[in-house]
Amino acid sequence: MIDNTKDSRFSVKQLIVIYTIISLMSLLAVWELVARFTKASMFLPPASQVLVAFCRSFVEPIGKRTMLAHIGVSLYRVGVAFFFATIAGIALGVGMGYSRLAEAILKPIFEFIRPIPPLAWIPLSILWFGLGDTGKFFIIFLGCFCFITVNTYDGAKNVDPELIGAARMLGANERQVFFEIVLPSSVPYIFAGLQIAVTAGWSAVVGAEMIQSNEGVGWMIVRGMNTGNTVQIMVGIVAIGIVGFILANLTSALERRLCAWNEQKGM
Amino acid sequence: MEEKKMPKVQVRGLTKRFGDLLVLNNISFDVEAGEFLCIVGPTGCGKTTFLNSLTKLYKPTEGEILLDGEPVDLKKHNIAYIFQEYSTMPWLTVEENVGFGLDIKGVEKGKAKALVDEYLEIVGLAKYRKYYPNQLSASMLQRVVIARAFATQPDLLLMDEPYGQLDIQLRYHLEDELISLWQRTGTTVLFITHNIEEAVYMGQRILVLTNKPTSIKQTIDNNLPRPRDIASPDFVKLRNEVTDLIKWW
């Protein structure tokens, strides 16, 4: 029998950290055991080996670069694409949400493009943009853009009509209604979109780097596949997972700062 | 009302038909500058249509509404509205909300800030200026809306059952606050309600409307001294008088 009251030396926050650590350690332990003592070892390098290789990759280059440089290159590609996706997504989303005309013209096209996976565009992007970074930007852009647009559109559609009425009665013109009411009240939705999009964009980087490339975390995996180096594949996967986790947390921290007014209200 | 000047608002033969349905039937009245006028009527008597005609949301079928002797023009005249809903902008702090109308109207920053400070002080929200609406109670939100309306220094303040959804204690409190705010600023107020007691408590004059098609049944001057006591014989007598006028049964 565990007496819960005696556990008060740990706060809830500390407990959450402890459980997270236990969960991760268990995953690694199971992975290690499966890789060492079952037939899966042929295709799955043990956790310890991957972790050692992962740590070494920060000092010993894989291909031409060390891990941080690879991550940097991939982040740069995602960053550029994400930047343009944000601008285009917010503009399109707010436009479609606010103007019926824009909605009628653009929504069918958007809905047609939306379900096409970014990877399906790879062959065309090579034709259109060649093998350089532009094609990679394009693929990652497609990976983020739709999420931002859909969420922004939702936000602009869901503006409280009371607030628009209140603004109009205070003398607001169309432009003021748009910039003072529609846009700010969409911000929480936009952020929800950005959060999904940054993760989606980061996932799309692997696909983008399958196109002729010699650096980046996606390349690391493709390269590992071509040379049958499972450890390198796993190292790339671990790197993508960790960076994705950090990115998701950074965006939600940013959201909490910028959307403090929306707290406890949910969406 | 010491000086005999042009009335602030002149409503002349206001008539509104929706197709064959006559809703407002030839309504005429004046509102003096700085007056607190209450309008009461039976439920469904067309108060909202009346208000919407006043705010130009509907075009009247016949008749006109003059403000300072000119036809109402929302671009030129400054009319403020307060409704039941606490239409504060959730992403703006209390002070930003109070300044919202001034911002929209392009009032110069320094002047706007002074006005915001003044009205935050008056409604007792100066301490909460940096708070967001979701951190405030219902009565505080209503005060934000009131401060926002008064801060624009409106020519005319229209209130449509602003306290309809509040509990009684809170209503009394906000009513008193509104009265003192009105006394301080001299704003012209048109207060629409179905609550007879509220109308007798607040107004200098009470306009009693009839059932549809709506016209003015009677205008009652209300000279009861302030602060008014809702239990005093004079108050009760006036309240009963208004109640009898409204009875349609």
DSSP assignment of B158-205: EEESTTTTS-HHHHHHHHHHHHHHHHHH---EEEEES-HHHHHHH-SE
> Does A206 map to a domain?
yes
Among A256-265, B124-133, B219-228, the least confident range: A256-265
pLDDT, tens only, A72-107? 999 999 999 999 999 999 999 999 998 889 999 999
* Mean pLDDT of the residues in chain B: 84
> What pLDDT does residue A138 have?
93
Dist. CA A175–CA A155, nearest whole Å: 18
Specify whether A61 is located in the same domain as A34.
Answer: no
Q: What is the pLDDT of residue B74?
A: 72
Q: Smallest Cβ distance to B91: which of A171, A184, A264?
A: A184
Of A170, A184, A261, the CB nearest to B132: A261
Residue B116 pLDDT: 93
Q: Centre a 10 Å sphere on the Cβ of residue A200 and count the other Cβ atoms it contains.
A: 22
Residue-level pLDDT at A146: 92
Asked whether residue A106 is assigned to any structural domain, the reply reads: yes
* B8: amino acid identity, one letter: K
Q: Whole-model pTM?
A: 0.75
Whether residues A208 and A151 fall in one domain: yes
Residues A28 and A90 in one domain: no
Q: What is the reported pLDDT for A267?
A: 36
Residues 6+ apart with CB under 8 A from A262: A188, B90, B91, B134
In 10 A of CB A104, how many CB atoms? 10
Would you say residue A3 has pLDDT above 60? no
Maximum CA extent, chain A: 74
**Does the beta-carbon distance from A262 to B134 stay under 8 Å?**
yes
A265 in a structural domain: no
- Between A6 and A142, name the one with better pLDDT: A142
Asked which of A6-10, A202-206, A215-219 is least confident by mean pLDDT, the reply is A6-10
Please name the member of A170, A176, A187 whose beta carbon is closest to the beta carbon of B91.
A187
Chain A positions touching B134 (Cβ under 8 A) are: 261-265
pLDDT reading at B59 higher than 90 = no
**pLDDT range class, residue A254, cuts 50, 70, 90:** confident
* pLDDT value at A52 more than 80: yes
Give the sign of the dihedral formed by CA B147, CA B152, CA B156, CA B161: negative
Nearest to A171 among B85, B87, B104 (CB): B104
Domain count, chain A: 2
Average of per-residue pLDDT across A140-162: 92
Segments forming the whole domain that contains residue A153: 53-258
In a domain, A264, yes or no: no
pLDDT of residue A266: 40
Whether A57 maps to a domain, the answer reads yes
A130 shares its domain with A37? no
Q: Please, what is the average pLDDT of chain A?
A: 87
Q: How far is A97 from chain B (nearest CA, A)?
A: 19
pLDDT of residue B172: 84
ipTM score over 0.85, yes or no: no
The pLDDT of residue A71 is 92
Comparing CB atoms, the residue among A180, A185, A260 nearest residue B132 is A260
Q: Which of A159, A169, A185, A186 to mutate to test the interface with B (most CBs of B within 10 A)?
A: A169
Instruction: Assess whether A37 and A104 both reside in one domain.
Output: no
Q: Is residue B87 scored above 60 in pLDDT?
A: yes
CATH number at residue A136: 1.10.3720.10
Q: Do B104 and A170 touch (CB under 8 A)?
A: yes
The residue of chain A nearest to residue B88, with distances taken between CA atoms, is A163
CB B188 within 8 A of CB B33: yes
Are A35 and A57 found together in one domain? no
The answer, yes or no, to whether residue A2 has pLDDT greater than 60, is no
The strand pairing partners of B208, in sequence order, are B40, B218
Residues A90, A36 share a domain: no
Does any domain span residue A62? yes
> What six digits make up the tokens of A161?
């009509």
Find, among A32, A54, A27, A52, the residue nearest to A44 by Cα. Answer: A32
Q: Which of B54, B31, B51 is nearest to B161 (CA)?
A: B51
Residue A266 inside a domain? The answer is no
Strand B70-71 to strand B79-82: parallel, antiparallel, or no bridges (unpaired)? unpaired
Domain check: are A218 and A238 in the same one? Answer: yes
Q: Is the pLDDT of residue B13 over 60?
A: yes
Find out whether the peptide bond into B227 is cis, omega within 30 degrees of 0.
Answer: yes
Could you count the other beta carbons within 10 Å of the beta carbon of residue B186? 10
Chain B residue with minimum CA distance to A164:
B87
Q: What is the mean pLDDT of residues B129-144?
A: 87
Q: Are residues A25 and A117 in the same domain?
A: no
Residues A109 and A167 in one domain: yes
Mean pLDDT of the A234-246 span? 91
Residues of A in contact with B78 (CB under 8 A): 171
Lowest-pLDDT range of A20-34, A97-111, B11-25, B37-51: B37-51
Say if A208 falls within a structural domain. Answer: yes
- Identify all chain A residues contacting B148, using CB atoms and an 8 Å cutoff: 170
Chain B residue nearest residue A258, CA to CA: B91
- Same-domain check for residues A191 and A227: yes
Contact list, B106 vs chain A (CB under 8 Å)? none
Per-residue model confidence (pLDDT) at position A203: 87
Does residue A114 share a domain with residue A85? yes
- Phi then psi for residue B71, to 5 deg, are -55, 140
C-alpha to C-alpha distance for A36 and A46, rounded to whole angstroms: 6
DSSP-assigned letter for residue B46 = S
